[in-house]
A and B are shown apart, each in its own frame.
Chain A
Amino acid sequence: MRSDPGAHGLSTEKKSAVLVLILFVDLILISSQIMLKNQQSLLQTIVANMIMPLQLTFQKATDFVGDELERYVFQRGIFRKYQQLKKKHVELRVENVALNRQLRDLQGLKAAHGKFSRFLMATVISVDINFPYASLVIDQGTRAGLVENDVVLNTDAELVGRIAKPLTAFSAQVRLITSPVGGTGAAIESNMLEGLLKGDNGPQCRFEYLLANKPVRLGDRVVTSGTDLIYPSLLPIGRVTAIRQDYLTLEVSVRPFFVDKPIRKLVVLLHE
């Protein structure tokens, strides 16, 4: 027998009062978010902490099932994959030797080893669909040793962004370098012309405060300058895609490397 909702219990006045109270709380929440624009509100952090375990559990469960199927059921092409990995391994070792030689010349090797002896892999579990070039969420948090402003790279060791709040025990937000919040100290690799790289929620970033006293060409590599004291120097960022000459300054557009590659696994460099 169907129950008759609302026939017993509260009087009409009390029902109205409860309804109005709940709607009022919702309106307060909505209005607080209008004011806070780019900052994360406390409520979003609390709700994220409540919903995040579900998302993490779902992600881990699907990853586990997928990995087990891959490992024990779908064995096709495994020998070819092994050969490819062996070849890639040799190429990386050769590249490593060349890079070590360069770093030794710049006397940076000891500093780099001292600063980044630890790193960890993380998986992307959600992307902000409304602003896909602003931020994303990974499945590592304070429990793995992450702190705010830890540097995040993709698996090709190219700069992606840095850790930002909200930062929970098992998850963290990554603010991408294409986000309009903040900026990245960058330089043109060929002539070390320095400026500030700012994103605008799109696949391109723009260089600000770049003096037109040195030549810049299309296709030039852009690396971090280290002047922002957040990102270490000489990390690859992207390539110059457009140049416009002003009177004293240059307007340069840069396309980050990570934009054209799938983002699923990321590398977080842990500060000591």
Chain B
Amino acid sequence: MSNRFRVVLFILLAVGQLAVAHYHPELRFSIDLLYLIIFFIAIRSRFMPSILSAALIGFAGDYLSGGIIGVFSFSRTLAAFLLNALARFLDLKKSVFVFLLIHLSLFLSNLVAFVFLDLIFRYRIATSLLVVQPLATALAGTVILGSKKVKSLLDVS
């Protein structure tokens, strides 16, 4: 049951990000629902599934953002590695830790992507990538993970 719920949640997050990319392309750097899928996998799964899923979901994020293929794959793989290492040490029952973990990890991941996108390819998207996206995504993740039902089905309660 929890596996089925997880799959449904991931599909909903992916469809949500597709909808944002299709109907509001100007907001595609303001929130990253695909990152929440990486977060949910990384805090719960082992090393290999976390890293591989982050790399593949990062490719999808690269394609939807219309940018260079490989940049977000690179940065999200690093983020998944960090989350996988840190998750066992944090009490994810508390929403504040969830918010901080998503915000900081996404900020660091986007900082790495920003190095490629701005310094090498001259794309100007600093504010959305470094300020708005981590905040909006962390809020969305905290809200989703806030309910007891979701926590129990994702095995973080």
Binding site for B on A (CB under 8 A): 1-10, 15, 18-19, 22-23, 26-30, 33-34, 41, 43-44, 47-48, 51, 54-55, 58-59, 126-130
Contacts and interface: CB of A to CB of B under 8 A. Distances in A.
Given A7-B88, A30-B68, 7 more contacts: A3-B46, A5-B43, A10-B48, A18-B47, A27-B74, A47-B59, A58-B22
A5 B44 contact: yes
B100 interface: no
Contact of B84 (A6, A29, A48, A130): A6
Nearest to B85: A6
Given A2-B156, A6-B46, A47-B63, A22 B25 contact: no
A211 B123 CA distance: 38
Contact of B77 (A15, A26, A33): A26
B37 to A, nearest CB: 14
Max chain B Cβ within 10 angstroms of own Cβ: one of A15, A22, A43: A22
Nearest to A24: B74
7 contacts: A3-B45, A3-B155, A5-B88, A9-B47, A23-B74, A47-B62, A126-B22
Nearest to B87: A5
A5 B43 CA distance: 7
Interface of B: 15, 18-19, 22, 25-26, 28, 42-48, 50-52, 55, 58-60, 62-64, 66-71, 73-74, 77-78, 81, 84-85, 87-88, 92, 116, 120-121, 123, 155-156
A33 B69 contact: yes
B22 to A, nearest CB: 7
A130 B123 contact: yes
B99 to A, nearest CB: 18
A1 B121 CA distance: 45
A43 B51 contact: no
A26 B73 contact: yes
B77 A23 contact: yes
Q: How would you classify the secondary structure of chain A's contact residues: helix, strand, loop or mixed?
A: helix
**Most chain B C-beta atoms within 10 Å of own C-beta, residue among A4, A6, A26, A130:** A26
A158 B15 CA distance: 35
Contacts of A7: 88
Contact of A27 (B45, B70, B85): B70
Contact of B47 (A5, A23, A29, A54): A5
Nearest to B156: A2
Given A58-B22, A129-B66, A130-B66, A2 B59 contact: no
A8 B45 CA distance: 11
B48 A18 contact: yes
Interchain residue pairs A-B with the least CB separation, the first 5: A29-B70, A26-B74, A30-B70, A26-B70, A6-B47
A10 B84 CA distance: 14
B47 A26 contact: no
A19 B85 CA distance: 13
Given A6-B84, A130-B123, A47 B69 contact: yes
Interface centre among A27, A33, A48 (most CB of B within 10 A): A33
Contacts of B55: 22, 26
Contact of A22 (B18, B77, B155): B77
A269 to B, nearest CB: 27
Contact of B25 (A6, A19, A48, A129): A129
Contact of B51 (A19, A27, A29, A30): A19
Given A5-B87, A9-B47, A19-B77, A33 B18 contact: no
Contact of B46 (A9, A44, A126, A130): A9
A126 B25 CA distance: 10
A71 to B, nearest CB: 22
A73 to B, nearest CB: 20
